[in-house]
Structure 1
Amino acid sequence: MKFQNAIAISVLCLSATAAVGAQERKVTCWQEGGRQVCGDAMPASAANSARKVYNAQGVMTDSQGRVLSPAERAAADAANAARTRSDEEKAREAREQMALAESYPSEQDLNRAYQLRLDISKGSVMAATASLSTQRKALIAVLQQAAEAEMSGKPVSKAQADAVTSQRNVLISTMNSLNQMRAEKDKIDTDYQAAVVRYRKAKLVPLDGPVIPLSK
């Protein structure tokens, strides 16, 4: 069948050449109704079909797959995007491994770096905790002033009301900052464990060895 198709294509090409003398002509072949059809031009009904183009000597000069439907194109684009993200993630991981290997001569040095990061984080949490206690006392103080004014039959002044609102906002901001610092501190050990794995991959050492723990 392939041999017969090749003969048919050659005959069409030679016929086209004979019709126009020395002018170069092309023959396009596509699938229609389960069979291959060839001609000088494709009909509009086959515009989305796969095609192969041959020159006057029967040599294929171009080949195109069928046009994808919108759903197929969206799926193909999504797959390409996923592959791109995967390649970028692999490249990023390789860069991180190389940076770790170049930055820390030994795993002990890596441990010391993360221990320092943890110690700094713990200090920040302690400072924020102390600040939160101070802000609570300040809020209680302005609330007491407002309460005493009411108990003495005096209206709460705008300045007192603004002080309560302002101090409450400061307290909430301090609480949010403290919660964020605690979350970051808790994440350091997870980051350290992952860094050890990347470091060992970069150094080409076994991954299942014991890990030097961080002092909590």
Structure 2
Amino acid sequence: MRKNQLEIACFNYESAIIAQENGADRIELCENMKLGGTTPNSILVVKVRESLNIKMHVIIRPRGGDFVYSDEELTEMKQDIKQFKKLGVDGFVFGILKENGKVNKKQNKELVLLAHPLSCTFHRAFDVVKDVEESLEDVIECGFDTILTSGQGTNVLEGIKVLEKIQKLADERIVIMPGGGLRSTNVQAIEEKLKEETYFHTSAITDNSETADPKEIKAILEYL
């Protein structure tokens, strides 16, 4: 039995199948890798859901760029959550900030409530918050189960000190999931620093495609 679990960010159907076949515990389904991941279309969601036995979370992000959304965009996010709940997904991944770099508690709470009882992950919007300690408490207050973050570094290795810090401050009230440049070449160093059991997040992409590499998934799992 592994201590930690693995989530694969999947930007297409092929990656989702590769993730399941090579031992991943969960996927995060999204599209548009070059934009950092946006809400997938419902046809892809249905196709992946019908093919997977492992857990499947879906990103709710109407566009690339910042994480400050208009009323129209918030309405779109709500509609996507309602639709995807009916399709049998296991959870959602999103995060909304204010223009001042603080967590938008009002809007995030609305989406968490709408997603209930499904799991919600606050995604890498956390990497651009102004104050990680204050934001950690705000995200917990909003009702999220997990924070996906690189520790505000360009990758998880650069952000390891922040990851350690917020995992300690979280004190098991929320899962801190390292993600962002996580690869088989650095996962052992991250795993050794983070004491608590957790999820690790990676796209497992090792070339110029947008598809996960099965060998990379297996290599990461060896350290978890």
Identify the TM-score tier after normalising by the shorter chain.
under 0.3
TM-score by length of 2: 0.17
Higher strand share: 2
* Higher RCO (C-alpha 8 Å, min separation 6): 2
Q: Which structure features the higher share of helix residues?
A: 1
After TM superposition, the score normalised by the length of structure 1 is 0.18
Pick the structure with greater CA Rg. Answer: 1
